[in-house]
Structure 1
Amino acid sequence: MKHLYLIRHCSAEGQEPEASLTKDGRYQAVMLANTLRTVPFDKLYSSPFRRAKQSIEPLALALDKSITIDDRLSERILTSEPIDSWLEELEKTFNDTSYKLDGGETSEEATARGLRALEEAIHHTKEYALMMTHGNLLTLLLRHYESSFGFDTWKSLTNPAIYCLTFDDNSYQSMKHINLERQDTQ
């Protein structure tokens, strides 16, 4: 059995690739490390976006593991141009997986990109791997395995969002949502 933890990054200051974690996001990253520190990860993968790398760094330090940066874990590109109606347009991409805006990716293209990274991670992992990614791509990957995941799932995702997918002989078996262990601060 192989276990792949798919995780949405912690709270960030923005959506651009160089956006950093907020103060709460930095706290979430420490709590994420506390939540997952007992999992014997073989491999840690991350999107190249700063917020994703900052989300996984406390765990990597706690486990003394290196982080493999994988561009295929970058957030899905909706469009190359800023648009006011981005939420409505994003919903369309969940209803029509071939729908594409100028300079953007279809849901099919983004899912295929993410699946290539996921399948490679499963292949190279002895038992446990972690992939730090972004909300839209995470939802598309989860939807590949469980068709009930969609736009409403994306809207309800937390930062971070943690899912463990189990594979047997590279064949998908199950999915489990993992709650972040939070500690009150004084």
Structure 2
Amino acid sequence: MLTNLYLVRHAHSVYSPDEIGRPLSERGFMDAKTVTELLKRESIDDVYASPYKRAIETVEGTAKYIGKEIKVVEAFKERTLAGKPVEDFTAAITKVWQDEDFAWQGGESNKTAQKRATDSLLQVLDRNKGKNLVIGTHGNIMVLMMNYFDSRYEFDFWKRLEMPDIYKLSFREKKLMEVERIWKVSD
């Protein structure tokens, strides 16, 4: 019996320094409707999400469709890159992916962020054997969770993610059996 986790990277959001309250953009809301339509076909049992508004807004249509409340999990929030805005985001994010133990001041290393998120992911797997679950999250932490199970999911994979994006991870117990991308960008 497989457990399927649909990791959903949030849709496009309106940039603001308010990480927690940053909402989806107009385009993001349109894409969130597409996420809902795609997930309607997947017999979803439950919906989890990061506490960040953009992650919740991306998957709330799915939760409404199945008639369930979103279960907010603090550990599914985006990794904290640094305690204050970095001057060069590309250089800063590259450095943490080159050295999994390195952390910028006030930020999380890849190893620390991965442990935070995967500890909760493994608990969700334990409690939901044989179910189809949506997890609304963020690009960097999503790839760190995927990387825990398969090292092919790394920095270059993260750079190719869309916003939003959906990956179906199929597990037998806690062993990753298959990964399938189900988000297709329309032309």
Match of 1:174 in 2: 178
Matches within 5 A, 1:65-104: 65-104=68-107
1:22 to 1:63, Cα distance in 2 relative to 1, 3 A: same
Does the Cα contact within 8 Å between 1:3 and 1:129 map onto a contact in 2?
Answer: yes
Q: Assess if the C-alpha contact under 8 Å between 1:4 and 1:129 holds in 2.
A: yes
Mapping of residues 10-49 of structure 1, within 5 Å? 10-14=11-15, 16-49=19-52
Could you tell me which residue of structure 1 aligns to residue 125 of structure 2? 122
* Alpha-carbon distance, 1:181 to partner: 7.2
Would you say the 8 A contact 1:60–1:67 is kept in 2? yes
Contact 2:125 2:173 survives alignment (8 Å): no
SS of the aligned residue for 1:28 comes to helix
Residue identity in the other structure for 2:40: R
| Paired letter, 2:133 | A
Matching residue of 1:2:
3
- Output the amino acid matched with 1:116: D
TM-score, normalised via structure 1 length? 0.93
Report the number of matched residues. 183
Match of 1:62 in 2: 65
Structure 2 contact 45–66 (Cα < 8 Å) conserved: no
- Two-structure CA RMSD over aligned residues (Å): 1.5
Q: Is the 8 A contact 1:35 1:180 kept in 2?
A: no
Q: Distance in 2 between matches of 1:181 and 1:80?
A: 34
CA distance in 2, matches of 1:149, 1:10: 20
Percent identity, aligned pairs only, is 27
CA contact 1:48–1:70 (8 Å) conserved in 2 = yes
- Give 3-state SS (helix, strand or coil) of 1:18's partner: coil
Q: Does 1:154 align with 2:158?
A: yes
C-alpha deviation, 1:154, in angstroms: 1.5
Once residues 165 and 158 of structure 1 are traced to their aligned partners in structure 2, the CA distance between those partners, rounded to angstroms, is: 17
Residue 141 of structure 1 aligns with which residue?
Answer: 145
Any stretches of 5+ residues in structure 1 without a counterpart? none
Q: Given residue 85 of structure 1, which amino acid in structure 2 is its aligned partner?
A: D
